[in-house]
Structure 1
């Protein structure tokens, strides 16, 4: 079990009783049939169940395989109607690059969705526009570290859905062509694999990030920072603290990959590595849980290991964040509407093992994480067991929750790509990074 898990009953039920959970939902369904049609958002739907169908708007940012699986989860909700025959979810997908701008605009403009996906790292930034749902949750049987990421200043601002750390993905066929047999379970083995691929195949051994573009590599650099026992900010998140040895060592290693080690080209074109992983011209990369949907499409055997890719690292750490579901504030929002929204969010996170077993994310809800559905899935042995072990062993390094800066803004990370492209010396790039983040958090 991972931290925060509780022993399950022999019949496989969670520690909250099924009758209690269904009882409250049946009450809400009955209330909806009797008059919850007065809730904001109730609309008539042509050809639907009647003129008082309650529609919960749900905004997501998932694309590709993630998006397909989330769509199937919402289709399941709308078929089964677990909160009542008159309650339906309207899923709307916005591309990642537009999602948070659209969500922020909707919250400030007074017309937000009922529920929406938010990374845990954004919660403090959006805190004032979110409902504190501490009194609405039916269960807190989630992995404690993931649940904690949804708590700010004593309040609960989201329902946790998963954790999505990063790890090492590789082309097993290329490794074997180079004379190397998996697993890649230490840095010396990783270095041996890279050098053997470079010498014995036509492929490039390793590129740390599939998404270089203008600001890629930040997950990998943050992972190295933590593996070298460094920190990014002070406790108040008002000053960058990565300008010393740990931050410099992390970037120095990344720059050496495209420099003196020769394991990759000093090319930060946006899609170069993603294409190379697909066509077999690049053997290994580091990416998140979601990458399994890409790797499963390839026509070669692929493998995965914990990210032991930094030399002389003091500890194993993986960069992590969590997908959560939030309830935005909106004018004239009733307590009943909040409760219905939270119930829908809990159903999405608690009743759908496919988010782990097919999408590859590490489920936050303990009964799913410890379920036979997940542990007997193909992805458990492939990736999820390793991710779960890292969670259990305290090896996930979560992004800081900043109140006034965006951890994912590429403009704050260009110093990493400048160093990787061999355009800026490492020491100068780290100084630029400290200056950029000090400006961002002021």
Structure 2
């Protein structure tokens, strides 16, 4: 009898320890550089806060096509991670491929997150047919970086410390010409050797005209081709007049700005840590970053979102315990995303960006207003980071922006090739 009682106690003890065993969450991301450093810190903070209950085991893979190809392959054989970072622009293709789990209304309730916590544009970016397939973590738009010292010297800085002429194409071009007349080598540094990057700027300018890439299944329908042509012609004119750098790749663009050769630069918010670090080291001038100038009808800026998604692993159902742990990971990171803002990104979780701490962050607070003016990629499996739309358009953007191809001809070729897709 005593031996039986001991066996019962041992079995009960094992069941109890099993019930409270640490849950390991397999994580994949594509984050490197400054945002990669910050994500690693957030994961470390999460693991410390959940010691003994949940542990994230993180792996960083190569950004772009390699990452998404690996996810697709892994999910098809049940070997994808428990959670991963995912670009919102890639979600339509992922849903078509069947490699993402839906984030159900019950999941949102368990995470303590809701639609009202997010900007409508951001929420819609992760929604397909009224179902959500990811949780937005941030938005990462492009912005206008500027050298306050050079602009002030040329008399082109406002009393608020921003560049003059942000309200129209004519006024902004006057600022660019003023910088050139003041002896600045490149008034504007632009990534003109990389059409994939320039998509962001061109699409923003289409959005400023209420332009659409895809309408009812047709690319550049109606007058949308004309709106694309307007954007390309404007940017080509800057190159022709020597107002922006030509055939400049991404690293060279950053170098032109940080060296003081370019007075302004259009680039992603993810370069904010670069500027912050250089300034701390005493290697950078006074600088700022603001929403893109209004060059057409109204503000509009291209953006994408880093999101958290849960793979649909074929033949491998997630246990209730694992799902609970994954939802806790997403919830905790979303609610602690203020630190993520130091990577330049705008946290998607509204209570964070509404906080006094975020509003005191610069230059983040200066450009966070663009959240109300964002446009995302069209919802099609052809869109998204490293997708076919990017490839087609970038082929024509480079020669056009560098004054080697007529904008009207570029639009004609782009429209033909996109609709052939």
Identify the TM-score tier after normalising by the shorter chain.
0.7 to 0.9
Unmatched tracts of structure 2, length 5 or more = 1-13, 279-283
Secondary structure in 2 matching 1:85: coil
How far has the Cα of 1:439 moved from its partner? 2.9
Counterparts in 2 of 1:184-263, with a 5 A limit? Answer: 184=163, 185-187=166-168, 188-209=170-191, 212-213=193-194, 215-235=196-216, 237-241=217-221, 244-259=225-240, 261-263=241-243
Secondary structure in 2 matching 1:56: strand
Counterparts in 2 of 1:40-439, with a 5 A limit? Answer: 53-81=22-50, 85-97=52-64, 98-127=66-95, 128-134=98-104, 135-137=106-108, 138=111, 139-140=113-114, 141-145=116-120, 146-182=122-158, 183-184=162-163, 185-187=166-168, 188-209=170-191, 212-213=193-194, 215-235=196-216, 237-241=217-221, 244-259=225-240, 261-298=241-278, 299-308=284-293, 310=295, 313-330=296-313, 331-356=316-341, 358-377=342-361, 379=362, 382-387=363-368, 389-391=369-371, 394-409=372-387, 410-412=390-392, 413-439=394-420
Higher helix content, 1 or 2? 2
How far has the Cα of 1:335 moved from its partner? 3.4
Unmatched tracts of structure 1, length 5 or more = 1-30, 38-51
The two structures have a TM-score, normalised by structure 1, of 0.80
Secondary structure in 1 matching 2:157: coil
How far has the Cα of 1:324 moved from its partner? 0.7
How far has the Cα of 1:168 moved from its partner? 1.1
Secondary structure in 1 matching 2:102: coil
Q: Deviations over 1:87-121 (max 9, x none)?
A: 10012112323322222222223211111111111
Task: Call closer, same or farther: CA 1:248–1:110 in 2, change over 3 Å.
Answer: same
How far has the Cα of 1:214 moved from its partner? 5.2
Task: Call closer, same or farther: CA 1:33–1:314 in 2, change over 3 Å.
Answer: farther
Q: Is the 8 A contact 1:160 1:325 kept in 2?
A: yes
CA distance in 2, matches of 1:309, 1:257: 15
Aligned residues: 382
How far has the Cα of 1:301 moved from its partner? 0.8
CA distance in 2, matches of 1:168, 1:32: 58
CA distance in 1, matches of 2:353, 2:302: 20
Q: Deviations over 1:156-197 (max 9, x none)?
A: 211111122222111112212323214223234422321121
CA distance in 2, matches of 1:32, 1:189: 72
How far has the Cα of 1:408 moved from its partner? 3.6
The two structures have a TM-score, normalised by structure 2, of 0.84
Task: Call closer, same or farther: CA 1:288–1:270 in 2, change over 3 Å.
Answer: closer
CA RMSD of aligned residues (A): 2.3
Could you tell which deviates more after superposition, 153-162 or 291-300? 291-300
CA distance in 1, matches of 2:401, 2:19: 57
Secondary structure in 2 matching 1:244: helix
CA distance in 2, matches of 1:86, 1:383: 34
CA distance in 2, matches of 1:69, 1:406: 24
CA distance in 1, matches of 2:61, 2:308: 15
Secondary structure in 2 matching 1:231: coil
Secondary structure in 2 matching 1:275: helix
Instruction: Identify the residue that residue 27 of structure 1 maps to in structure 2.
Output: none
CA distance in 1, matches of 2:185, 2:381: 43
Q: Deviations over 1:219-256 (max 9, x none)?
A: 00000001112111114x45343753211101111111
